[in-house]
């Protein structure tokens, strides 16, 4: 069985996985959902919150373990799971990107968003005067993020969306190598009706690196809210495919 480390995206917290984690656990897997610095129960001042701090927080969880883990990253924190894999490739069984940023070496989340004319998030983001933090207003979030989610689920999960997100993680450039990060197997879960990270941008990012499997989900940007059972099924499917390949090549 596998150990899944679940990582939320911007403005989110670990409870976004509340409907996904039990399904993975019911299938015999270990699940750890992490609140990154500045999110959920890991509250910190916004200004010190950086992508490096995110990376350190995840590395500190994984490094002491005596087994490999599967990292699942949503949205912005596709960049994070890539950086963790660059540091600890030997500890990562697989990376799973859920409509997440799979960046080229030297790229940033902000640059990818700026390259996406079909993406609806960036024009709606409201930045602080000093550009150090940003918010995505509720009306915009409902229109471009929650458009395929029923109202009862919105009422459950909307309170989990932080009012402010530090902007440094969006602007941080990733340093990734083919030797380390590139050696870790990857799955991309592509969301076909996503209005925040367009399918076009997702396809561009999938082409940035060798991706062993691409799984399609007819979902908006938050499948953990709209289709948790299907998302969990695809997460389990991606891991089982890898294990089958390992057995066949043993």
DSSP H stretches of helix in the chain: 21-26, 51-62, 78-87, 109-114, 138-140, 151-157, 168-171, 199-206, 223-226, 228-248
DSSP state of 102: -
Tokens of 155: 């009422």
Q: What is the pLDDT of residue 162?
A: 75
Q: What is the pLDDT of residue 47?
A: 57
Residues, the chain: 250
The CATH number that applies at residue 144 is: 3.40.50.1820
The neighbouring-strand residues paired with 225 are none
Element (H, E) at 3: strand 3-7
The domain tally of the chain equals: 1
Q: What is the pLDDT of residue 247?
A: 35
The alpha carbon of 163 is separated from its chain's Cα centroid by a whole number of angstroms, namely 19
The neighbouring-strand residues paired with 72 are 6, 96
12: left (phi over 0), alpha (psi -120 to 50) or beta: beta
The alpha carbon of 128 is separated from its chain's Cα centroid by a whole number of angstroms, namely 24
Position of tokens 């609140």? 35
| Residues spanned by the domain of 31 | 3-248
Digits of tens for pLDDT over the chain (250 positions)?
999 999 999 999 999 999 999 999 999 999 999 999 888 777 765 557 899 999 999 999 999 999 999 999 999 999 999 999 999 999 999 999 999 999 999 999 999 999 999 999 999 999 999 999 999 999 999 999 999 999 999 999 998 887 889 999 999 999 999 999 999 999 999 999 999 999 999 999 999 999 999 999 999 999 999 999 999 999 999 876 554 443 333 3
């Amino acid at each position: 069985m596998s150990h899944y480390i679940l990582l939320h995206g911007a403005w989110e917290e670990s409870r976004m996985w509340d409907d996904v984690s039990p399904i993975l656990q019911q299938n015999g897997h270990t699940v750890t959902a992490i609140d990154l610095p500045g999110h959920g129960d890991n509250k910190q001042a916004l200004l010190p919150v950086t992508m490096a701090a995110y990376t350190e927080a995840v590395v500190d969880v994984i490094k002491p373990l005596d087994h490999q883990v599967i990292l699942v990253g949503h949205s912005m924190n596709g960049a994070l799971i890539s950086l963790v894999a660059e540091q600890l490739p030997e500890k990562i069984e697989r990376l799973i990107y859920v409509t997440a940023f799979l960046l080229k070496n030297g790229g940033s989340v902000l640059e990818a968003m700026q390259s996406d004319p079909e993406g609806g998030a960036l024009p709606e983001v409201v930045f602080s005067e000093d550009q150090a933090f940003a918010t995505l207003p509720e009306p915009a979030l409902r229109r471009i993020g929650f458009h395929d989610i029923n109202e009862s689920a919105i009422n459950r999960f909307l309170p989990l969306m932080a009012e402010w997100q530090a902007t440094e993680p969006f602007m941080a450039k990733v340093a990734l190598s083919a030797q380390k990060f590139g050696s870790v197997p990857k799955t991309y879960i592509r969301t076909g009706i996503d209005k925040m990270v367009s399918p076009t941008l997702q396809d561009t990012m999938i082409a940035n690196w060798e991706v062993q499997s691409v799984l399609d989900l007819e979902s908006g940007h938050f499948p953990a809210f709209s289709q948790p059972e299907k998302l969990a099924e695809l997460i389990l499917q991606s891991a089982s495919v890898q294990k089958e390949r390992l057995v066949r090549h043993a």
